[in-house]
Amino acid sequence: MNNKVSDKANDDEARRRFAAVALPHLDAAHNLARWLTRNDHDADDVVQEAFVRAMRHFGGFRGEQARPWLLQIVRHTCYTWLRENRPAEIVSFDDEDDPRYDSAAPAAEEPPQLAQRKADRVQINQAIAGLPVVFREVLVLRELEDLSYKDIARITDVPMGTVMSRLARARGLMQQALAPSTRPALRSVSRKAGVGDTP
């Protein structure tokens, strides 16, 4: 009987510790899953599965930065989900030099542009959603979640140089997608997309 009580107390303590570590990053987890799956409902399913996996492997968490650790699990869960549900989106990319992609420097937003901001956000969101998934993820992690190159490399399990290359390509593709009109600043988009926004 004492063993059962002790096991329950240990389980409760593990759940409390997990909640304290993981729940502060729930918004970031959902944001990443939403951009990768491009659907709120699918993102909810992916995040739920990712949190179950994270809880299952919480014993292996050694107190390092929780956000990159959790987002890495979310990313792996997203890719598993995409392989099962949308295999055409999982494409292998060669990250060697490609002159078609250059880094896009964001323009500064000016106060008179505020009325145009919602339309710009929709256009930017559509451009991000149109990126191949490997470019979309690094752009979201860097520009929307404001993670360092080192953390993105850890989450995506690729070298830092590959992260930088993919980010440059993503920015180049964004620049091309937004070229027909005055290109709004990437940094002008809220770091957390609103519930009604389209990823």
**Strand, helix or coil for residue 65:** coil
Q: What percentage of the chain carries pLDDT values higher than 70?
A: 69
Contacts of 156 (CB under 8 A, 6+ apart): 75, 134, 137, 138, 141, 162, 163
Residue 59, token pair as written in the block: 């014993």
Q: Do 36 and 69 fall within a single domain?
A: yes
CA 33, 35, 40 angle in degrees (round to 5)?
65
Q: Do 117 and 84 fall within a single domain?
A: no
**pLDDT tier, 65 (very low <50, low <70, confident <90, very high otherwise):** confident
Q: What is the pLDDT of residue 188?
A: 46
Q: Do 9 and 84 fall within a single domain?
A: yes
**pLDDT tier, 181 (very low <50, low <70, confident <90, very high otherwise):** low
**pLDDT tier, 15 (very low <50, low <70, confident <90, very high otherwise):** confident
**pLDDT tier, 94 (very low <50, low <70, confident <90, very high otherwise):** very low
Q: What is the pLDDT of residue 145?
A: 92
**Nearest CA among 155, 148, 153, 133 for reference residue 50:** 155
pLDDT greater at residue 75 or residue 113? 75
Q: What is the pLDDT of residue 123?
A: 82
Q: Do 61 and 120 fall within a single domain?
A: no
The enclosing domain of 159 has a CATH number of 1.10.10.10
Residue 173 pLDDT > 60:
yes
Q: Do 10 and 83 fall within a single domain?
A: yes
* Mean per-residue pLDDT, 164-168: 95
In order of 34, 79, 153, 157, the CA distances from 133 in angstroms are: 12, 9, 15, 15
Domain presence at residue 193: no
Tell me, what DSSP letter sits at residue 169?
Answer: H
Residue 194 pLDDT > 70:
no
pTM: 0.67
Q: Do 6 and 80 fall within a single domain?
A: yes
Domain presence at residue 103: no
Domain presence at residue 73: yes
Q: Do 27 and 63 fall within a single domain?
A: yes
Q: Do 79 and 155 fall within a single domain?
A: no
Domain presence at residue 104: no
Question: Using one digit for the tens of pLDDT, what is the confidence trace for 113-158?
Answer: 455 566 677 788 888 889 999 999 999 999 989 999 999 999 999 9
Residue with tokens 């930088």: 164
Q: How many domains does the chain have?
A: 2
Selection from 36-40, 58-62, 163-167, 189-193 with the highest mean pLDDT: 163-167
Domain presence at residue 171: yes
Q: Do 121 and 61 fall within a single domain?
A: no
Q: Do 80 and 142 fall within a single domain?
A: no
Whether the CB-CB separation of 129 and 38 falls below 8 Å is answered with: yes
Range of the domain at 48: 2-89
Q: What is the pLDDT of residue 91?
A: 55
Q: Do 84 and 120 fall within a single domain?
A: no
